[in-house]
Amino acid sequence: MKNFQFYNPTKIIFGKDTVAELATLVPQQARVLILFGGASAEKNGTLAEVRAALGQRSVREFGGIEPNPSYETLMRAVAMAQAEHVDYLLAVGGGSVIDGTKFVAAAAVFDGDAWEIARSGGTKVRKALAFGAVLTLPATGSEMNNGAVVTHKASQDKLAFRSPLLFPQFSVLDPTKTFTLPARQVANGLVDAFVHTTEQYLTYPVQALAQDRFAESLLQTLVEIAPRALAAPDDYATRANLMWTATLALNGLIGAGVPQDWATHMIGHELTALYDIDHARTLAIVLPSLLKVQREQKRAKLLQYGERVWGIRDGSEEERLDAAVDATRAFFERLGVPTRLSAYGLGAQAVEAVLAQLAKHGMTRLGEHGDIDLARSRRILEEAL
């Protein structure tokens, strides 16, 4: 096991009818800015519940935070927060809204060019507004971590940042808020949580027994609930398991003391920035091909993954490795999430474009061994054609 630090002070309020808890979670004297995405938060009644719970507090609202939240949009929220002397942010939505809120929390009190927050990976964040979240879309884990990803539309840069100052103070997780989600977003959430887990698990063994088993627990659970998560939108138990599993997949726990990969995310980010493919869908394109290309480096963990997650015990080692990668690809495809660039009409030109962006962003030593250079990324992308 590697040395590690674990720290996560976000308070989770989980369950049915918990939005009303905002009445005590948000400070009484707070000047609140509610941030949200599209019309669904209004339509499904969540915003009305949030407003009711906030009662007599001073409240402003900023809607329209898009999937893969853009610097351009978020800076309008920053201007509003500053103009209105807001001192508390409340994200109502999924990972994009919460990620965007983290950027606003840091940018509203940042000295200098706010894009430096993203460009520095968060190291330049010295202070931030306090904020909480009401989660409506289980997927990214942003509700219980201190990281975020924002996109500079003008430059097509999609950058990740994190800071100890950017944990939500609390997150309200009410699984019933997911009942009205489109199936596509649920499938994306399943894939996102799955790949968050594999990024922290499918590397090489370091005798971190509980971490391995926790990761396998999350993968097994996602596989178990996936069919009902798609087929029975108002099955509370299934949605509750999806929501909590997605949170646990990226709250620091399973990654404590183990090597991490994240190459799938880094390559996927470029696909989203260039072609506007949903984040999770880019992961489904990259991961199976990456596992194939990195088969030797990941051999021991791939075999363990095949056996413990997919029950693959028969056949030669090579056959079991193949089966583990195939099972991963087939899982995504069963969810209706394509695993090939061709499904998006993309070909060899896209490979070149992604490689150019990876080069531009210095993504030339990816993976747990730092051995995914541009040549290796090319092989992965070509494998995904």
- By CB under 8 A, name the one of 237, 300, 348, 359 that touches its own copies: 237
Task: Please check whether residue 137 is in contact with residue 185, taking contact to mean a CB–CB distance below 8 angstroms.
Answer: yes
Report the alpha-carbon distance of residue 147 to residue 98 in Å, rounded.
10
**Alpha-carbon dihedral sign for residues 283, 289, 291, 293:** negative
Residue 16 in the binding site for its own copies (CB under 8 A): yes
Q: Which residue matches tokens 């915003």?
A: 47
Residue 209 in the binding site for its own copies (CB under 8 A): yes
Q: 135 by DSSP, 3-state: which?
A: strand
Which residue stretch of 35-43, 115-123, 245-253, 358-366 sits at the interface with its own copies (rule: CB under 8 A)?
245-253
Helices (H), 236-336: 236-248, 263-275, 279-293, 299-310, 317-334
Residue 37 CB, nearest approach to its own copies (Å): 25
Residue 18 in the binding site for its own copies (CB under 8 A): yes
- By CB under 8 A, name the one of 14, 179, 204, 275 that touches its own copies: 14
Beta bridge partners of 148: 161
Residue 9 in the binding site for its own copies (CB under 8 A): yes
Q: Which of 122, 107, 124, 139 is nearest to 37 (CA)?
A: 139
Residue 217 CB, nearest approach to its own copies (Å): 3
Residue 146 CB, nearest approach to its own copies (Å): 13
Q: Is 311 exposed, middle or buried (0-12, 13-18, 19+ CB in 10 A)?
A: exposed
Q: What angle do CA 163, 252, 50 make, to 5 degrees?
A: 70
Residue 220 CB, nearest approach to its own copies (Å): 6
Task: Please check whether residue 384 is in contact with residue 286, taking contact to mean a CB–CB distance below 8 angstroms.
Answer: yes
Which residue stretch of 9-17, 102-110, 183-191, 366-374 sits at the interface with its own copies (rule: CB under 8 A)?
9-17
Residue 208 in the binding site for its own copies (CB under 8 A): yes
Which residue stretch of 50-58, 76-84, 213-221, 361-369 sits at the interface with its own copies (rule: CB under 8 A)?
213-221
Residue 14 CB, nearest approach to its own copies (Å): 5
Residue 291 CB, nearest approach to its own copies (Å): 23
Q: 105 by DSSP, 3-state: which?
A: helix
Q: Which is it for strands 157-162 and 88-93: parallel, antiparallel or unpaired? A: unpaired
Residue with Cβ nearer its own copies (10 or 260) = 10
**Residue 285 to residues 191, 256, 315: CA-CA distances in angstroms?**
11, 27, 27
Residue 221 CB, nearest approach to its own copies (Å): 4
- By CB under 8 A, name the one of 11, 31, 51, 295 that touches its own copies: 11
**Per-residue burial over 319-356, b = 16 or more CB atoms within 10 Å of its CB, e = otherwise:** ebbbbbbbbbbebbeebebebbbeebebeeebbebbbe
**Judged by CB under 8 A, how many residues of this single chain contact its own copies?**
40
- By CB under 8 A, name the one of 89, 90, 253, 267 that touches its own copies: 253
Which residue stretch of 50-58, 128-136, 252-260, 271-279 sits at the interface with its own copies (rule: CB under 8 A)?
252-260
**Residue 105 to residues 47, 136, 181, 276, 368: CA-CA distances in angstroms?**
20, 20, 27, 25, 31
Residue 22 in the binding site for its own copies (CB under 8 A): no
Binders of its own copies among residues 51 to 70 (CB under 8 A) are: none
Residue with Cβ nearer its own copies (15 or 38) = 15
Residue 226 in the binding site for its own copies (CB under 8 A): no
Kindly give, in sequence order, each residue whose CB lies less than 8 Å from that of residue 169, ignoring residues fewer than 6 positions away: 9, 10, 11, 25, 130, 131, 132
Which residue stretch of 241-249, 299-307, 336-344, 360-368 sits at the interface with its own copies (rule: CB under 8 A)?
241-249
- By CB under 8 A, name the one of 129, 181, 240, 271 that touches its own copies: 240
Q: Which residues bind its own copies (CB under 8 A)?
A: 1-16, 18, 207-211, 213-214, 216-218, 220-221, 224-225, 237, 240-241, 244-245, 248, 253, 256-257
